[in-house]
Structure 1
Amino acid sequence: MALRQELTAAIAALYARGYALGTGGNFSAVADREPLRLWMAPSGVDKGTVTAEDLILVDEDGHSTMGKVSAEASLHRAIALATGAGAVLHTHSVLGTVLSMAHGSAGYIRLQGYEMLKGLAGITTHTAAVDLPIWPNSQDMEGLAARVTPHLATAPWGFLLAGHGLYAWGRNVFEARRHVEVLEFLLAVRYHAQGYPSPSAEVTATGREADG
């Protein structure tokens, strides 16, 4: 139960930051390695209300008898297998989504010169250059997992899907959550450094939020 409580606490914290609104995002923690089984938030639920009892156990084939499995479970499994991650967290932030589209043609966004980089495991200086990969989005998650997997060993604890969101992982739930928070912070800094208007300012200027 402790692992499930750690995962739901992370989900609640990321939801509170606006990273998993509208039932968006999906989150997993490794329950067993052999065979691989993941505790995951069920698909299509409000991530702000998920409890430890709501989590479902997903087997190595992506099936569960406990609830509806997210279509992106295959990507979670691929990341856990390729990297040895103990937890994988997927968020849908506004600024990360904007930057994933703006830099999608380059295939990455460079993060360098920021003290917060040291929040990523293995980085000890702000001068480090981290190239966060950006992959084209797809509804074929099995195919996407196959394309991404060969590159996961060199990914800096995360990657973006263009127009979709951030995937980040860590050796445990605590580290994965830290990596999400650090990467989302760095993406927000890059957004403002590039001179984009504040999303709240855009809402004020138009008098309403965008539909869709």
Structure 2
Amino acid sequence: MEEVLPVEDGNCIRSALIRTTRRLHQRRWCDGTGGNFSVVQQRKPLLLLMAPSGVDKGRLEVDDLIVVNEVQEVVEGSGRVSAEAALHQAVVEQTDAGAVLHTHSIPATVLSRNHQANGQLSVEGWEMLKGLEGVTTHATRIDIPVVANNQCMDELVEAFLPHLPAQSHGILVSGHGLYAWGRTLADAERHLEILEFLLEVQLNWSRA
């Protein structure tokens, strides 16, 4: 069995996750009680440190965070687990990600619906693509998968699975928002920022 993080490391990760959620809230990527965010605390058996559901992510404190097991049960903390915890688990298990971030920005919400019929949103030629792991030149095309929104999490997980190779960075859910991930919380936040930037560029470019 893999050991749980030492207390001092766990406390640092809790503080880092709170700082991340506050930054994303300040950027208006998770207004209201939207968005959900997780960091892997332990892999075998899986434990995810998560922001609780149904709360303002800009007001979270360290003690508000919850720990969720592999059957999406809260094993530490008193908050409510998001139904979308199953999506976080799928991403972690299929990509070896260490953190998963889900936002509800306007560009992600609008463009995901516009491109649902295509099943993907293609982005190419922008310098900021180089902020994504594995991308070394602006002369690159990425295809961000777009899956239909679904209130049945089992079906939504099934829709995610074909799009979760280890080298992927994110998935759009139509009319809903963006999921992004990375090997660490810092990597996940960077990928989220880059993808959100590219989505905003695409939205503005389409209107130009």
Corresponding residue for residue 93 of structure 1? 105
The question of whether the paired residues in 2 share the 8 Å contact of 1:133 and 1:155 is answered with no
Q: Deviations over 1:5-24 (max 9, x none)?
A: 11111111110000000100
In the alignment, the residues of structure 2 paired with residue 58 and residue 86 of structure 1 have an alpha-carbon distance, to the nearest angstrom, of: 14
In the alignment, the residues of structure 2 paired with residue 72 and residue 168 of structure 1 have an alpha-carbon distance, to the nearest angstrom, of: 14
The question of whether the paired residues in 1 share the 8 Å contact of 2:96 and 2:166 is answered with no
In the alignment, the residues of structure 1 paired with residue 145 and residue 73 of structure 2 have an alpha-carbon distance, to the nearest angstrom, of: 29
- Residue 193 of structure 1 pairs with residue 202 of structure 2: no
Q: Which consecutive unaligned segments of at least 5 residues does structure 2 have?
A: 1-10
- Out of 18, 21, 24, the position equivalent to 1:11 is 21
In the alignment, the residues of structure 1 paired with residue 18 and residue 181 of structure 2 have an alpha-carbon distance, to the nearest angstrom, of: 15
- Residue 119 of structure 1 pairs with residue 131 of structure 2: yes
Runs of at least 4 residues of structure 1 off by over 2 A?
Answer: none
Opposite residue 40 of structure 1, the aligned amino acid is: M
In the alignment, the residues of structure 1 paired with residue 81 and residue 59 of structure 2 have an alpha-carbon distance, to the nearest angstrom, of: 17
Opposite residue 82 of structure 1, the aligned amino acid is: Q
TM-score normalized with structure 2 length: 0.92
The question of whether the paired residues in 2 share the 8 Å contact of 1:131 and 1:156 is answered with no
- Residue 46 of structure 1 pairs with residue 45 of structure 2: no
The question of whether the paired residues in 2 share the 8 Å contact of 1:130 and 1:156 is answered with no
Over the aligned positions, Cα root-mean-square deviation in angstroms equals: 1.1
- Residue 170 of structure 1 pairs with residue 182 of structure 2: yes
Aligned residue for 2:128, secondary structure, equals helix
- Residue 141 of structure 1 pairs with residue 162 of structure 2: no
Aligned residue for 2:31, secondary structure, equals coil
Aligned residue for 1:48, secondary structure, equals helix
The question of whether the paired residues in 2 share the 8 Å contact of 1:97 and 1:164 is answered with yes
Opposite residue 81 of structure 1, the aligned amino acid is: E
The question of whether the paired residues in 1 share the 8 Å contact of 2:124 and 2:140 is answered with yes
In the alignment, the residues of structure 1 paired with residue 197 and residue 174 of structure 2 have an alpha-carbon distance, to the nearest angstrom, of: 18
The question of whether the paired residues in 2 share the 8 Å contact of 1:132 and 1:155 is answered with no
In the alignment, the residues of structure 2 paired with residue 195 and residue 59 of structure 1 have an alpha-carbon distance, to the nearest angstrom, of: 44
The farther-off stretch of 62-71 and 149-158 is 149-158
- Residue 61 of structure 1 pairs with residue 83 of structure 2: no
Q: Which consecutive unaligned segments of at least 5 residues does structure 1 have?
A: 197-212
In the alignment, the residues of structure 1 paired with residue 160 and residue 166 of structure 2 have an alpha-carbon distance, to the nearest angstrom, of: 11
The question of whether the paired residues in 1 share the 8 Å contact of 2:95 and 2:167 is answered with no
Aligned residues: 196
Aligned residue for 1:105, secondary structure, equals helix
Corresponding residue for residue 7 of structure 2? none
Task: Tell me: CA distance 1:167–1:155, structure 2 relative to 1, closer, same or farther (3 Å).
Answer: farther
In the alignment, the residues of structure 1 paired with residue 204 and residue 186 of structure 2 have an alpha-carbon distance, to the nearest angstrom, of: 27
Identity among equivalent pairs (%): 49
Following TM superposition, by how much is the alpha carbon of 1:156 offset from its aligned partner in structure 2, in angstroms? 3.0
Following TM superposition, by how much is the alpha carbon of 1:150 offset from its aligned partner in structure 2, in angstroms? 2.9
